[in-house]
Amino acid sequence: SKMTVKAVRMPCTSANVYTKVPDGGWGWTVAFAFFVVEALTYGIIKSFGVFFNDLMESFDETNSRISWIISICVFVQTFTAPLSTVLSNRFGHRLVVMAGGLLVSTGMVIASFARSVVDMYVTIGIVSGLGYCLSFLPTVTILSQYFDKRRSLVTAVASTGECFAVFSFAPAITALKEQIGWRYSMLSVGVLQLGITACGSLLRPIVIREQEEVKAQPPEEPTETKYMLENEQTCTSIESIDSGVDITTSPSNVPGKTKADPKSEEPKQHGQNPIDNNSTPPEPKTKLLDFSVMRDYSFICYAFFGLFATLGFFAPSLYIIPLSRSLGIGKDHSAYILSAMAIAEVFGRIFAGWLLNKKPIRKIYIELICVVLLSVALVAFPFASGFWGLMICSVYFGFMLGTVAGTHIPLLAEDDVVGIERMSSAAGVYVFIQSLAGLAGPPLAGVLVDTTKNYSSAFYSCAAGMVLGAVFLALVRPCKTGLCHHQQQQQQVEESTAGPPPELPDDFIDMDIGKAENSGKGSDSV
C-alpha cells in the first residue's frame, strides 16, 4: 500500500504528525517564520553599526568600548545556546521563541533610554542577547526537522532574511535618525522586534512516526497439520502406540516449550523475553542536552572551525561604515556599501543552498572552499581605496559570507558531522563554543583599531581567524572517516584474533543442575 506523507492532521496549536519527513507542508510556514526571525535578530545585529558614531558622541566613549555592546550581545547569545536547547526540549520550540521575542524587544526598548554605555551592556548585551539565543536557535533547529532532501536549499533561502534586513534597515534607520534622532529610532526597532513573538507561534512541533505493516498471523491449526504430515511421512502417527518411538514431534512434548510458534523461539535464542505484538514499546526518554557529541572528533574539529570563523562574521559589518568614513566617503554612500554587501549575501546564500542541494556532492568540501575564498575577501579590504574599491570588496565579501553563514549550522545535520538525530544538542554545544569568539572578536578588533589608528588591522584579525577556521574545517572529514574507521578496523582485528566464543548447548543449565543434584545425593549417601 502507498505510504501517505501526512498521517494525522492536527489543529494549529498541536503537533504535526508525519509518517516521514514531509519536505514541505507546514514546513514552508516554518521557513517563512525563520526568514522573519533572521531579519529581526541577525539583521538588527549587523545593522547596529549605523548607531556607532551616535553612541560614541553621546556617551563620549572610544570605539572599543562601544564595540563591547555587540560583543556582549553575541557572547550571551552563543554562550546560552545549551540553555536554549534544554528549554526547547523541555517546553517546546514555540514557547521558547515567543519568550525570546519578548526579551529581544524589551532589551532594545529599554536601551533607547540608556544614559551610559554600561546601560547598553545590560539591556542590549544581556537581555536582548539572551532573547536572540532563544529566538534563533530553536527556529533553525525545527526548520531542519521539516526538510530532508531540500534542507540545504530551504535553509539557505530562508536565512536571507538577515540580508534583506540589512539592505533595508541600514538606509531606513539612517534616514529615521535624521528625523527623530537615534534614541527614538532604536525604540522603533525594539517595537518592530515584537514580530519574533508572532513568528514563534507558527512553530508547530513535528513528530515522525513510521507506519507499521500489520501481518496476518497464521492460525495454529495448520501448525498441527504440519506435524501430523511429518509424522505420517516417517510412518509414525500421533495416535500410534506400537511404533516404539516416543512422540516428540508434538508441540506439547518439546522439552521446555509450550508452543511451536517460531516467533516465540526467536526471543529465547537471543536470551530475551517474548514481546507481545499488541503492546507498544515505551518511547525512549529524550535527553535535554546530549554532550556525547564532544566525543566525536569530527564535531570537535567543526566546533573549532566555528570558534575561529566567528571572528570574521561580525566585525566587517560593524567596521565597514567607519572604514568608509575614514576614507572620506559620506554617510549616505557608506550606507549604500553596507546595503550592497547585504544584497550580495542574499545571492551567496541562495547559491550555496542550490549547490549543496545537488547530489552527489560532498558538502563539507564545498564549505571549505567558501571559507578559503572568504578569507581572501577579508584580506582585500585594506587594499581598497575610494567608494568603488570598497563597493567591490563589500560585494565580494557579502557573497562569500552568504555561502558560509547560511550553511555552517545546518551542516551539523549532515552525516559528516553529527547527523540529524543529534543536531539539536550539537547545535547548542556548537553555538556555545562560538561564544568565546563572539565575546573576543569585536573588542579585539576595536583594540587593534585604537592602537594602530587604522581600520585595516580589524580586517586582518578577522582574516587570521578565518584561516584558522579553514584548517580545522579541513580536518572534519578525515576525522570522520580516517580515525573512526581505523578504530573500527582495530576492533575487528581484535575480535578476529580472539576467535568466536565457545558454543554452549541449549541444555547446559539442566546439565549443571543434574550434576549438582548427583553430587548432593552422593554426599548424602556418604
Residue 247: C-alpha distances to residues 107, 142, 235, 361 (Å): 85, 62, 12, 64
Spatial contact of 1 and 10, defined as CB atoms under 8 Å apart: no
Global pTM reads 0.61
Lowest-pLDDT choice from 137-141, 410-414, 472-476, 480-484:
480-484
Lowest-pLDDT choice from 107-111, 234-238, 462-466:
234-238
Residues of the chain with CATH 1.20.1250.20: 18-210, 289-496
Residue 183, pLDDT score: 92
Residues 266-271: what's their mean pLDDT?
Answer: 40
Q: Pick the residue with more confidence: 231 or 132? A: 132
pLDDT classification of 12: cutoffs 50, 70, 90: very low
Residue closest to 103 by CA, chosen among 141, 85, 82, 76: 76
Residues paired with residue 17 on neighbouring β-strands, in sequence order: 8, 207
Residues 116-144: what's their mean pLDDT?
Answer: 90
Number of residues assigned to the chain:
526
Rounded CA-CA distance 30/255 in Å is 60
Spatial contact of 427 and 409, defined as CB atoms under 8 Å apart: yes
Rounded CA-CA distance 257/242 in Å is 26
Spatial contact of 402 and 345, defined as CB atoms under 8 Å apart: yes
Q: What is the pLDDT of residues 415-458, one digit of tens each?
A: 777 777 777 777 777 877 777 776 677 777 778 887 888 888 88
Q: In CATH, what class is 18-210?
A: mainly alpha
Q: What strand order describes the sheet that includes 206-208?
A: 6-8, 16-18, 206-208
Residue closest to 103 by CA, chosen among 76, 132, 125: 132
Rounded CA-CA distance 487/480 in Å is 11
Rounded CA-CA distance 423/96 in Å is 18
Sign of CA dihedral 475, 363, 369, 381: negative
In the predicted model, is pLDDT for residue 389 greater than 80?
yes
Q: What is the pLDDT of residues 184-226, one digit of tens each?
A: 999 999 999 999 999 998 888 877 776 554 444 555 555 554 4
The CATH code belonging to domain 289-496 is 1.20.1250.20
Residue 145, pLDDT score: 82
Query: What rounded mean pLDDT belongs to the chain?
Result: 74
pLDDT classification of 291: cutoffs 50, 70, 90: low
Rounded CA-CA distance 425/84 in Å is 10
In the predicted model, is pLDDT for residue 512 greater than 60?
no
Residue 493, pLDDT score: 53
Residue 197, pLDDT score: 93
Residues 340-346: what's their mean pLDDT?
Answer: 83
Q: What is the pLDDT of residues 70-103, one digit of tens each?
A: 888 888 887 888 888 888 888 888 999 999 999 9
Spatial contact of 146 and 18, defined as CB atoms under 8 Å apart: no
Residue closest to 63 by CA, chosen among 454, 463, 331, 464: 454
pLDDT classification of 278: cutoffs 50, 70, 90: very low
pLDDT classification of 299: cutoffs 50, 70, 90: confident
Q: What is the pLDDT of residues 102-121, one digit of tens each?
A: 999 999 999 999 999 999 99
One-letter amino acid at 64 equals S
Rounded CA-CA distance 125/81 in Å is 15
Residue 386, pLDDT score: 83
